[in-house]
Structure formats: C-alpha cells, structure tokens
Amino acid sequence: MAKPWSDQAGSGFHVHISVADKDGNNLCASDKPEGSPLLHHMIGGMKDHLSDCMGILAPGANSYKRFKANSYAPVGLTWGVNNRTVSLRVTAGPAHTRHVEHRVAGADANPYLVLAAILTSAHYGITHKVDPGPAVVGNGYEVAAKTGASLPKNWFAAVDYLDKSKMLRDYLGDRFVDKYVVVKRTEQARFFEEITELDYSWYLRNA
C-alpha cells in the first residue's frame, strides 16, 4: 500500500533516470548542479505531463492519502536540485553521475506501467525540447501552495487527466488508455459501494 498507516509517512516508488549514448556516456552529465540541457528537456516533459500520468503513478484510492505537505511525498508540479520537497529532483554527486529522481509514484503502482509513463513523458520532453522553467529553491510544498501548480488531489481527477491525455494516447495507444480507464472507473464504483467505519462514525453515531 502507498499509505498503510495514517500517522506515518507513506511508501514511495522513486525512479532514477538518466540517458546514455551508444558508448555508455551519460548525456545528463554536467559540471552544473542542474545538469545538461538534455536533462532539462527530460524534466520539462515529465513535469508538464505529471498530471496526465498520475492515474498510473498513483493507481488507487489509498494512493492519494500519501500526498500531503511536509510528508516526504511531493504535492506539486515542481523540480529542483538536491531538493526532497519537489516531484523531480536532480541529485547531488559527481558531474558524471548527474540524473533525475522521479519521486511521485507510490509503492502500489505497477512498475512496468510506471516506467512506461515516465519514459514516454521524458522522451516527449527531449524531442520537443520542453523548458521546465526555473528550479524550485527552498520549500517545494510552499511553492505548490502559492502557485496552485499541484498534482491531482484525488483518484477521480487523476483518471480523468489520463483519459484526456493526448501524449499518453499517442505513445501508449488508445486501446490501452481506454481499457485502463474502464478498469479504474469500475474499481472506483466498487470502492464507493463499501460502507466504511467512517460512514458510521460521521453519520450514525453523531446523530
């Protein structure tokens, strides 16, 4: 589960990404802490399509209980250098090891689909030379709150973003997206058929 206990941090599925040429050289490498221009474009594509990918990165109702400010889980469409309050973190270290840590997916996500979603958005960023904008310096939670550039806050919004994503449909195909959305909306309907202890606490025992 992404959030097994309400009083503790959730369980993430962080993915570290770089790109190598045919000789194995890291194309993200740079003496600059923020990395190479190619790394910037990767981040731009991933940042611009985080909302589209959330239905895959956070695939269930429990997934969204993990995303809270100051919880070690990101909440915004943000990137930064060695900053663990953002969604996309360029790691510290020697120049030749420069890469980006994608910090959004939860432990409940399908690893094959997570990698497919991340790689498609990274490839989109490279081929379209997407500018990610300035890196966040300081508290990424505060930046997300002030700018309103936040990740989808619930399962329903995330599946709607995925359903309408031209990028994911172009890369993964209409058939996959349509089938995945049908499955998730069926799960949503089944989830809300269940009467929980919270229903009794709020609406019966308080009456």
pLDDT tens for the chain, residues 1 to 207: 999 998 888 999 999 999 999 999 999 999 999 999 999 999 999 999 999 999 999 999 999 999 988 888 999 999 999 999 999 999 999 999 999 999 999 999 999 999 999 999 999 999 999 999 999 999 999 999 999 899 999 999 999 999 999 999 999 999 999 999 999 999 999 999 999 998 999 988 886
- The per-residue pLDDT for 70 is 85
Q: Tell me the residue range of the domain where 23 lies.
A: 15-203
DSSP codes joined into one string, 45-74: HHHHTHHHHHHHHS-STGGGGS--TTTTS-
The answer to whether residue 3 is domain-embedded is no
- Paired tokens of 164: 């309408």
Residue 6 falls within a domain, yes or no? Answer: no
Nearest-angstrom CA–CA distance, 155 and 60 = 6
The domain tally of the chain equals 1
Sheet holding 100-102, edge to edge: 15-17, 100-102, 88-90, 79-81
Helix axes 50-57, 155-163, angle to 10 degrees: 120
In a domain, 8, yes or no: no
Domain assignment present for 174? yes
Residue 1 within a domain: no
Round to whole Å and give the CA distance between 141 and 144. 5
Say how far apart CA 124 and CA 46 lie, in whole Å: 8
Asked if residue 138 is part of any domain, the answer here is yes
Backbone φ, ψ for residue 116 (5° rounding): -65, -45
Q: For residue 196, give the CATH number of its domain.
A: 3.30.590.10
Instruction: Evaluate whether residue 122 is within a structural domain.
Output: yes
Return the pLDDT at 122: 98
CB 168 within 8 A of CB 114: no
Q: Which residues are CB-neighbours of 165 under 8 A, at least 6 positions away?
A: 49, 52, 53, 177
The total of other beta-carbon atoms located within 10 Å of residue 103's CB is: 22
The answer to whether residue 105 is domain-embedded is: yes
